[in-house]
Structure 1
Amino acid sequence: MEPLLHGMVLAFGLIIPLGVQNIFLFNQGATHKKFLHALPAIVTASICDSLLIYLAVAGVSVVVFTFEWVKVLLFIIGFFFLGYMGWVMWKSASEGGIKQEQVRFSPKHQITFAASVSLLNPHAILDTIGVIGTSSLAYTGEGKMIFAIACMSVSWIWFCLLVIVGQKLGQIDNHGKLLKRINQLSALIIWGMALYLGMNLFHL
């Protein structure tokens, strides 16, 4: 019971704070009329998170991050990607609610972007390694497996909830004005994260 509760509480603490991944999934829920249409984004983000958690618990990722150049490369890629992601969000906002049909991501784009925001976010990866990976050292065998599954389960549940909440908001916001403001705010937050990455890169 302890590994299960520990894993769930820890994962919620890491995943709930506003981040690029959460923003993207919320927007997919808001721009698609049906839950199933945003399923590619949910499944991709959840699988990526599960993979990172597995690597953290298995200790594989710790070995990779002993090389400083890997951190630098990840931060550079993350900086440029977040800059691009912010531009996409801002462009979506500028299209307005009338053209909302045109800015919905296709399944292919959902998979690409969900994988990118999950795997190209250096701080998310470092948090997974540093927090979940380190915490998993308290358990062995079955306990470690339960801890990992609990962390993974939180990702799947949380991403589904984000899309559902976004979808409800999209249904209420018939004219797209609220969604436009959310997209603009999302773009500014993402650009802020990119700037923060750039500052960290400068100090590496």
Structure 2
Amino acid sequence: MDYLILGFLTGLSLILAIGAQNIFVIEQGLKKQYIFIVCLICSISDFLLIFLGIFLFQYLNHFFTPTIELVFNILLLIFLLHFIWGKIKTKVSETSFDVDSKTNNLSNIVVKTLGFTFLNPHVYSDTVFFLGNFSKSLSQVDKYYFGAGAAISSFLFFFIIGYLSKYFSKYLKSATVWKRINYLIILFMSILALTVLMEII
């Protein structure tokens, strides 16, 4: 049980950092669009990567070379720039506040969620390599507890920020507020893109 708590707290400390994936989940919550699907994809992805890292760390550690990390960073930068450009082109008048709005179809949202999840090298460094390295000396049983704790923190975090954003969205049904939110998202994503660019160069 101690390792379950340790895994929970360790996973939570890693996932609390503001990142592109978290911002995307919050945005979908505010828009009330496919929140459950987005949170579920992020949570399951983390679950798979966490246990992949915990049980295969000693093998994967040799493959995550600086070259592989560079490739992921370049792909993430391209993905972020594409997303930012899309937000810049979006007009606030096109934003719908309807719960059943389908301005973004499901396949598009799934692709974006997977992109924000698997094109981010920090997802691998946090879940696969940090947690894998951290738990490498644990016994087989303790690894299960540790991984379960980290996975639970991930599930709770994504669903809380997703549905908490949905709750607060009812106070944000204003074009002016949404314009400011859009600007903030562009600002955050631009900072993240700049950070990724600095890592590349």
TM-score, normalised to structure 1's length? Answer: 0.87
Are residue 39 (structure 1) and residue 39 (structure 2) matched? no
RMSD: 2.0
Are residue 96 (structure 1) and residue 92 (structure 2) matched? yes
Match of 1:201 in 2: 200
d(CA) in 2 for partners of 1:77, 1:146: 34
Match of 2:109 in 1: 110
CA gap of 1:166–1:90, structure 2 versus 1, over 3 A, is farther
- What letter is aligned with 2:68? V
Q: Paired residue for 2:81, among 57, 70, 83?
A: 83
2:173 match: secondary structure: coil
Query: Deviations for 1:28-78, whole angstroms, at most 9, x for unmatched residues?
Result: 111117xxx32221111112111221221121432320x332112111111
Higher helix share: 1
Are residue 70 (structure 1) and residue 68 (structure 2) matched? yes
TM-score, normalised to structure 2's length? Answer: 0.88
The count of residues paired between Structure 1 and Structure 2 equals 196
Question: Identical aligned pairs, as a percentage?
Answer: 23
d(CA) in 2 for partners of 1:73, 1:184: 29
Unmatched runs of 5 consecutive residues or more in structure 2: none
Match of 2:50 in 1: 53
Once the two structures are superposed, the pairs formed by residues 170-181 of structure 1 within 5 Å of their partners are 170-181=169-180
d(CA) in 1 for partners of 2:88, 2:155: 27
- What letter is aligned with 1:164? Y
1:148 match: secondary structure: helix
**Per-residue deviation, 1:136:** 1.1
d(CA) in 2 for partners of 1:138, 1:57: 10
d(CA) in 1 for partners of 2:158, 2:88: 22
Match of 2:4 in 1: 4
1:138 match: secondary structure: coil
**Per-residue deviation, 1:111:** 1.1
CA gap of 1:39–1:132, structure 2 versus 1, over 3 A, is same
d(CA) in 2 for partners of 1:104, 1:142: 46
Once the two structures are superposed, the pairs formed by residues 124-163 of structure 1 within 5 Å of their partners are 124-163=123-162
- What letter is aligned with 1:40? I
d(CA) in 2 for partners of 1:10, 1:91: 39
Q: Is the 8 A contact 1:23 1:186 kept in 2?
A: yes
Q: Is the 8 A contact 1:97 1:175 kept in 2?
A: no
**Per-residue deviation, 1:103:** 7.8
CA gap of 1:8–1:111, structure 2 versus 1, over 3 A, is same
Match of 1:27 in 2: 27
Unmatched runs of 5 consecutive residues or more in structure 1: none
d(CA) in 1 for partners of 2:142, 2:175: 47
**Per-residue deviation, 1:117:** 0.5
Match of 1:183 in 2: 182
**Per-residue deviation, 1:97:** 5.4
**Per-residue deviation, 1:152:** 1.0
CA gap of 1:100–1:68, structure 2 versus 1, over 3 A, is same
